[in-house]
Structure 1
Amino acid sequence: MQAPPDEPLDEVDEIAAEEGALRVDIITTPEDEGLRLDRALARHLPELSRTRLQALISEGRLAREGEPVTNGSAKITAGTHFTLDLPPPEAAEPVAQDIPLVIVYEDDHLIVVDKPAGLVVHPAPGNADGTLVNALLHHCGASLSGIGGVRRPGIVHRLDKDTSGLLVVAKNDRAHKRLAAQFADHGRTGPLERAYVAFVWGTPELPSGTVDVALARHSTSREKIAVRREGRFAITHWSRLAAFEDEQGRPIAAMVECQLETGRTHQIRVHMAHIGHALIGDALYGSGQRTRATRLGPQTRAMVEGFGRQALHAARLGFEHPATGEFLRFESALPPDLEALEQALASGH
């Protein structure tokens, strides 16, 4: 948005005048009341990290009611109008790498992949390359979206390294913006479907249920997420698909489907552990339930104790196509390691 030639550009307009820049309008809601500014913005712009937002604020790219803002820790009130000028897309730092991809669907706007367990989604400290982004850069070339200068081209949502399954990636900025809006909306105003299959310790007594507790970063462990009253709201709907018994016929484990109403970091893993049904193989949140494996038969016990990841698979993904509006729905069968786990638990040997 550039001012007419006969009007001088102020600091905010100079930023907005950058070629390819994008101005975003945000009006805070009652849910934002009393939050730090950077936290509130992160709620409205989930595709941008708080670190990225703080950097944009320090660069003078944020205005409140037309006045520049530089303090990201300021508390805000509902009904305040902010404008954020996002810089032009930056070239992705990751290099293209010829890494095999399982492509479920692809067109000019997006690509849906079936991610294997063990593949990191985007480069980060400790995983500089060999990621899904590196593979996508090789497959898609320069078409990948880099909206907002975020160096995670095309990534709309993420899966943990050791979670397998379906993931959609945008191939241009328009598709990225529209897909990100769907995921940020959590399906409230349009169809969005995210269903996971998980193998958990214990058998839920009820056939289905909902976990509705807020999540935030753990107070002492930066790698963990915890249930915290002051955290971001998070809702998981679960249903029992199968129950497994030990050799004495006692309930020992279950296969459940988890449907996300929100998409917080580690949401399913933390929510299921919170109700006493941590995921099998989850070393971060399920260590307290490992003793249950001692009740399994020797073959099943050996498989469970040697299972190298959380038993979680993104099995179903549905969303509106960002260009056509058509609802797309994809399904992914259990990968071989989870199939083998299911068979072992069912046999009880």
Structure 2
Amino acid sequence: MKNKYKKQTGKAEPKQYAVHEKTTLLPYLQKVLTNRSRNAVKSILSRGQVAVDGETVTQHNHPLESGQTLTISKHNRGTGLQGMTILFEDKDLIVINKESGLLSMASSQEKTMTAYRQLSDYVKTKHPKNRIYIVHRLDRDTSGVMIFAKSEQVKYKFQEDWKSMVKERVYIALVEGKVTKTEGTITSWLNETKTHVMYSSNQPNKGKKAVTHYKLLQSTTSFSLLELRLDTGRKNQIRVHMQDMGHPIVGDKKYGATQNPIGRLGLHAKEITFIHPISKSTVHFESNTPKAFWDKAN
């Protein structure tokens, strides 16, 4: 299989700006890039195209001091990341927006071009002893928000108290057929076959309990767009529950789909809200729903 993630090349000269007052990075960028929308400015920042005094910075709230020099490059400056962008980074966490097609971690077929491997290399550019730890996973063909820890301590905090720390997870799914109910809840107990296919049981305690709430956003006679909120985070939970509804996710042949009009799995991890394991503040991260999802259900 050909790798869809190609490194960008180009020799356009970067632009430099002098900082004259104390501020933070995103407001400053909006001030100097007057011809760009707020979302466009955020994208430039997330792609690693901004450096402060020669150091690549992706945090929106990075503090700036008078006398510093800010450089904006035409292309990714130094993250070297392919198939993802950094939404947030501090000393404890990295939150990314993962594209469909990128593995979260190594498999027997792919060991290098994964989110985990790329982020491991990225943090080691700052210090060779830096490490990265997976907090949770997204399926290869699911896009959206994903969290990585920078220490075992932070990873364990999430793993030991995930249910109370993670306040909300929102997914968007493009499914086959016209969903008639505007909202509802699906509850079942999930089990796994020997061939690693998940399936539902309606018998309490016959498997792991899974609860998915859904709300219809828009639909046509052929496709529906749903917002999904999870009470539990079981393996393939949404994919199984959509199949149970009779509306499998487009492109999900494993769980009953017969169509793939968008050339990918129609599932996107749109939002996550959680208690920061160290600062204890509530933080929220969001990724835009792919345009193809809206287009097919409109």
Contact 1:99-1:130 within 8 A present in 2 as well: no
What is the CA deviation profile of residues 245-296 of structure 1, one whole-angstrom value per residue up to 9, with x for unaligned ones? 3xxxxxx221001111111111100011111111011111123xx2xxxxxx
Query: Matches of 1:178 and 1:103 in 2, distance apart?
Result: 22
Aligned mate of 2:184, from 182, 203, 209: 209
| Map 1:256-267 → 2, pairs under 5 A | 256-267=226-237
Change (3 A) 1:162 1:305: closer
- 1:341 to partner: Cα distance: 4.1
1:265 partner letter = K
- Pick aligned residue for 1:195 from 157, 160, 170: 170
Instruction: Report what 1:143 is aligned to.
Output: 130
Q: Is the 8 A contact 2:250 2:261 kept in 1?
A: no
Provide structure 2 residue ranges, at least 5 long, that are not aligned to the other structure. Answer: 1-78
| In structure 2, distance between residues paired with 1:123 and 1:273 | 28
Post-superposition Cα deviations, 1:180-223, rounded to whole Å, max 9, x if no partner, equal 2332x2x4xx55211000011123322111111011112x522x
| Number of the residue aligned with 1:176 | 155
The aligned residue for residue 217 of structure 2 is 241
The two structures have a TM-score, normalised by structure 2, of 0.67
Cα offset, 1:226, TM superposition: 1.0
Report Cα offsets for 1:41-92 as digits up to 9, x if no partner.
Answer: xxxxxxxxxxxxxxxxxxxxxxxxxxxxxxxxxxxxxxxxxxxxxxxxxxxx
Residue 275, structure 1, aligned to residue 245, structure 2: yes
Mapping 1:1-349, distance limit 5 Å: 98-100=80-82, 101-141=84-124, 142-144=129-131, 153-183=132-162, 185=163, 187=164, 190-218=165-193, 220-222=194-196, 224-228=197-201, 229=203, 230-245=206-221, 252-287=222-257, 290=258, 305-335=260-290, 339-346=291-298
Greater per-residue helix proportion: 1
* TM-score normalized by the length of structure 1: 0.57
In structure 2, what is the Cα distance between the partners aligned to 1:200 and 1:306? 11
Asked which structure has the greater CA Rg, the reply is 1
Shift of 1:98: 4.5
Which residue type is aligned with residue 130 of structure 2? S
Give the partner amino acid of 1:234.
A
Secondary structure class of the residue paired with 1:270: helix
Q: What is the letter of the counterpart of residue 215 of structure 2?
A: S
- How big is the shift at 1:139? 1.2
Partner of 2:40: none
- Structure 1 SS opposite 2:252: coil
Contact between 1:122 and 1:131, CA under 8 Å: does it hold in 2? yes
Comparing both structures, which one devotes a greater share of its residues to strand? 2
Q: Percent identity?
A: 32
**Equivalent AA in structure 2 for residue 221 of structure 1:** T
Question: Paired residue for 2:5?
Answer: none
Cα offset, 1:307, TM superposition: 3.0
Q: Match of 2:253, SS? A: coil
**Matched residues in 2 for 1:241 and 1:194: separation?**
17
Larger displacement relative to structure 2 (316-325 or 125-134): 125-134
Q: 1:140 is aligned with what amino acid?
A: V
Quick one: distance in 2 between partners of 1:122 and 1:169?
A: 11
CA RMSD of aligned residues (A): 1.8
Give the conservation status (yes or no) of the 8 Å contact 2:225–2:297: no
Q: How many residues align?
A: 212
